[in-house]
Amino acid sequence: MSAFAATLIDWQRKHGRHDLPWQTRDAYRVWLSEIMLQQTQVETVIPYYARFLERFPDLPSLAAAPVEDVLALWSGLGYYARARNLHQCARTLMSHHGGVFPADPAQLAELPGIGRSTAAAISAFSYGTRAAILDGNVKRVLARAFGVEGFPGTKAVENLMWNLAEELLPEADVDIYTQAQMDLGATVCTRGRPACARCPLADRCVALRDGRVADLPTPRPKKETRQRHGRFAAILANGAVLLERRPPAGIWGGLQSLPELPEDADTADWVSTHYGLEVRRVTPLAGFRHVFTHFTLHLQPEAVEVAAPPASCAEGGTTWHPLDRLDAAALPAPIRKLLEQLVRPDLFGV
């Protein structure tokens, strides 16, 4: 066993995290946590994880549920393609794998939403398989410990790190070693203000030795953040709001949201023509912005009071949803925030 792996395993046993709710051999629970933890902090995931297991305690219950129910529970966690892939993965496992997660990381990596690193983590934690992971925490630890130059998002640097990660794998205790890498990156070798004084790798860390901890891993090359603008209509009647299912692909794919207004449309005319509704009043609301990974969306919402709609209005992916039951809707976080602000007795009699 390499000194690197031995050091991390010993450190994890003494100082690592041992009380996370997904630290189990149950492949379903491990898989669920690994998908939720992609690009999301542990503290954010824990309450979602608990609610998800309460509603979907096992793979068959998740596979049997409508995707809308899955998206509703995922609402606010972001990166919604993960939820759609999670649901599709559950159905694939039930239909093609007898409801059992394969132990082979290569087979796991072929399932929806599971890449090479996630497959290795699921297999290592669930079956003790000897497989290397390379998530964001591991990339940061390796870059600093071994002085790896270059942005890890480039293919050449990523390949170099994969080779290094596989070379360092111990023959035994791979699950402990895998958890150690995650724990070290999340609690000690953090992106900002790393706790180098209590790092078990401090005496062999190239970045610390050379005074380059703040420089490694090499950051993503800077490029101008794209700006997008969107007008959204909160169409209100009888204590309900009109929600529209977003297309499967693109921003908030598959979620319910407010209708998006054309850039230059007259709100009252557009709502009247598009939905056959009688508009009584239009009130501009305070705009706000929401930052995505690759762009910033500037939202300009408008509250639209309409007369009681005919029953036939809720068609073709639209539905009237009670404002006092927003928790049951699969809404993007910024749209949920906006609608919750509208739940006031003095607004259009809602």
User: Which entry of 34, 224, 278, 340 is annotated as an active-site residue?
Assistant: 34
Q: Do the Cβ atoms of 231 and 300 come closer than 8 Å?
A: yes
Q: Do the Cβ atoms of 208 and 44 come closer than 8 Å?
A: no
Distance (Å, whole) CA 189 – CA 202? 10
Q: To which H or E segment does residue 245 belong?
A: strand 240-245
- Token representation of residue 232: 């959204």
Angle made by CA atoms 102, 104, 109, in degrees to the nearest 5: 85
| Pairing, β 256-257 against β 279-284 | unpaired
Catalytic residue list contains 167: no
Compute how many other C-beta atoms are within 10 angstroms of the C-beta atom of residue 223.
7
At what angle are helices 116-127 and 27-36 packed, to 10 degrees?
Answer: 150
Helices (H), 151-302: 155-167, 174-187, 206-209, 267-275
137 Cβ partners below 8 Å, 6+ apart?
181, 182, 184, 185, 186, 189
Residue numbers annotated as active site: 34
